[in-house]
Chains A and B, each alone.
Chain A
Amino acid sequence: MKNIFRKIFYGLLVRPFLKYIIGVQFKYESTFENLDQFIIVANHNSHFDAISILAALPANKLKNVRTIAAGDYFGTSPSSEGIMNLFFNAILINRKRKKTERSSIDILDEYLKNGESLILFPEGSRGKPGVLSEFKKGIAVLLKKNPNIPFVPIYLDGLGKVLPKDKFLLLPMNSIVNFGKAILPKQDKVESIVAEVKAAILELKDKNNKNKKYGYA
């Protein structure tokens, strides 16, 4: 039921809205057909990022893809928890939990072991539009623990102008969701994997800016 709702919501409402009103272009460099499980990594500028990625995914992949949200912010009441669950299939992680509790990496790892896919923003919080800030190590740890799961790099461009940090007003602006090819990390050290993931996103960014004959880099 929840899955059918999400399919209709993203496929028939959000996707056309993003495409025809907001001005988001979806670009794919590979298909998801042969991909059962993956970790999506993207640069993060806007609250709109996760919604755009979910809308860009093929409808049959939606059911296993989970987003991650701050439990201390979104999970404070049953209603907001329900909304996060229904619309975003979100894993709520409390940032202010005690040291003795399980680490967030362990929680996410368990979801991966159950065959689910994740959307991660390794920059942590939303940075300045167009600038890639330092990546956190969590993504690399997860990839190292699950060597058979590839990561799919995504470069998001312009969404920071559609809905910047701390703003509520949605503004139509031409923007791009660019999916890269799925990659299995070649390295096995955490630091090297982080570098590999970052390089993949930067490569997409460069390609995007080169192909883009208009607008600013």
Chain B
Amino acid sequence: MKILGNNVQPEVAYIMAIVFGVLLLLLFTFYILSKKKPSTMMDELFLRTRSWFFIAIGIGILVIAPSIVGTVLVSYVSFIALREMFSISYFREADRTALAFAYLAIPIQYYFAYHGMHQPFLYFIPVVMFIGLPVLLVLSGKTKGIAVSMCLIPTILMLTIYMLSHIILLFSLEIPNFEIGASGLILFLILCTSFNDVFQFTWGKLLGKNKITPTVSPNKTWAGFIGGILTTGLLAYFIKFLTPLTGLQAILLGLTIGIAGFLGDLIISAIKRDLQIKDTGNLIPGHGGVMDRLDSMILTTPIFYYMLVFFIN
């Protein structure tokens, strides 16, 4: 099948069509409801769905357009996430040189990812940047508060760049007898991660009683967590045709993505609670910042990648 001159596997096209169809339907419903009986909740739902619609366009570009376009897109998302994390954290004026170099890590890391250069991809941020950034901080000569910056900058790089860039490695992953390729894998990952968020939220609202982490994120309940990961496992089984996996492997991956997504959400929630902020930004209407949306992707992406590689070998 050809879409805008790009070869697209029919499975990917059907899934994207369903996603857009459902989103448009929801958008239309919320629009009518908010016009009929204006309320802040309806406006919020409409805004949220509209933002999901734009996110879906981004995902569509990622799975349909040539991989170079997807790489540029994901690296820009990484850039916004990094900028957001830098903006909400306390930094000293002496940290500015190191922060500037931290931004430079984005094109380098995504270059390695795009060309499938696994070795430098793996060591660039955890080794080169992990050594280089503290050296730059030391060279500034100001030691007051330097330990916090030394820990914070590499951690933010790992969260916003390293983890997310694994998605681009999927483009150069070669799997014998598997035609759908990276677009199917990326779609599988994003669908499982996003719907896991939705499932956990819904189960929590329906049955949630006992809180898991009352001090970090009071909305998380055991019912939401368990119901969420089980439903995600089920979803993974139904969309396993996007991957080269067997049914059991797909379910295992779905369950793991469920747990990882939950943990990623918790990590960002804990950071926000420490900084006493509600959202990491306001770039996505109805959602908050980019990091508020990416929180679960941060953990699910590398875990999905390494489990997938483990299964197909």
A residues apposed to B, CB below 8 Å: 23, 25, 158, 161, 164, 167, 169, 171-175, 212-216
B residues apposed to A, CB below 8 Å: 79-80, 83-84, 86-88, 90, 93, 96-97, 99-100, 103, 277-282, 288-289
CB distance from B89 to the nearest CB of A (A): 9
16 pairs, A vs B, C-beta closer than 8 Å:
A23-B87, A25-B282, A158-B87, A164-B96, A169-B96, A169-B97, A169-B100, A171-B86, A172-B103, A173-B87, A174-B83, A175-B87, A213-B277, A213-B282, A214-B288, A215-B277
CB distance from B55 to the nearest CB of A (A): 17
Contact status of A214 and B96, CB under 8 A, knowing A158-B87, A172-B103, A173-B86: no
The reply to whether B97 and A213 contact each other, CB–CB distance below 8 Å, is: no
CB distance from B23 to the nearest CB of A (A): 25
CB distance from A150 to the nearest CB of B (A): 29
* Residues of B close to A214: CB separation below 8 A: 87-88, 277-282, 288-289
The reply to whether A167 and B99 contact each other, CB–CB distance below 8 Å, is: no
The reply to whether A167 and B93 contact each other, CB–CB distance below 8 Å, is: yes
Picked from A171, A174, A175, A213, the residue with its CB within 8 Å of the CB of B96 is A171
Given contacts A164-B93, A171-B103, A214-B277, 6 further A-B contacts (CB under 8 A): A167-B93, A172-B86, A174-B87, A214-B88, A214-B279, A214-B281
Contact status of A174 and B84, CB under 8 A, knowing A213-B277, A213-B279, A215-B277: yes
* Residues of B close to A215: CB separation below 8 A: 87-88, 277
* Residues of B close to A25: CB separation below 8 A: 282
* Residues of B close to A213: CB separation below 8 A: 277-279, 282, 288
Q: In the docked arrangement, what's the CA distance between A23 and B99, Å?
A: 15
Q: Which residue of B lies closest to A212 (CB)?
A: B282
* Residues of A close to B100: CB separation below 8 A: 169, 171
* Residues of A close to B289: CB separation below 8 A: 214
Q: Which residue of B lies closest to A20 (CB)?
A: B76
